[in-house]
Structure 1
């Protein structure tokens, strides 16, 4: 069973669970500010659930999270996002191993390095 680390929270989840659902079901949000209310509800179109994901399993044969899909790739290539930032949409990401999730500042969580 994978564990998602998010801030002070350690959340166990089923393998293959959608990261956005894991966070929301545990009472934490992948959104900043009013994006808690103003979001696409998991369809991958708004980009407000963008997060940074790190894992010690990142270099193994079995990836810790699902691959970036077409919808996610498209949304992360539209400003204010930058396709080179390495961010993922929590609503489009399935969890397969232990991960550490960081939410960055900004309405879309796109301000990487601005803590």
Structure 2
């Protein structure tokens, strides 16, 4: 099996608090799916089961992006403007990206 052509993949560098991890993903992938498939879920233990399934409704898959791509979703446009975490389910990977998984709060409690 040959390696994918570099123009067919993007690099996703993840800072999850335990160090940096480098992933490759097909161009056009959703960031949420890439993170979950690699074992770096953007969700907390509770919201991993109680979420909207990647439809951009619940806001539980927020991540911080360095040099983030232009927002495609209304929530991400607000997040970009006001400094909120971006919804990983609404980020289509078109270029290399650096992702920071923030500490999550659920109902006023830090996980």
Decide: shared fold, TM above 0.5: yes
1:103 CA displacement? 1.5
Q: 1:53 and 2:61 equivalent?
A: no
Q: Which residue number corresponds to residue 12 of structure 1?
A: 24
Q: Distance in 1 between matches of 2:84 and 2:104?
A: 16
Q: Which residue number corresponds to residue 33 of structure 2?
A: 21
In the TM superposition, what are the counterparts of 1:1-115 in structure 2 within 5 Å?
Answer: 1-7=9-15, 8-55=20-67, 65=69, 67-70=71-74, 72-73=76-77, 84-107=82-105
Following superposition, which runs of at least 4 residues in structure 1 exceed 6 angstroms of deviation? none
Greater Rg by CA = 2
Q: Contact conserved, 2:71 with 2:77, CA < 8 A, in 1?
A: no
Q: Distance in 1 between matches of 2:77 and 2:70?
A: 13
For the aligned residues, what is the CA RMSD?
2.4
CA deviation vs aligned residue, 1:24-62 (integer Å, no higher than 9, x gap):
11122011231112211101111000111114xx6xxxx
Q: Which runs of 5+ in 1 are unaligned?
A: 59-64, 77-81, 109-115
Larger RCO, structure (CA 8 Å, separation 6 or more): 1
User: Structure 1 length as normaliser, TM-score?
Assistant: 0.68
1:91 CA displacement? 0.4
Q: Distance in 2 between matches of 1:16 and 1:66?
A: 14
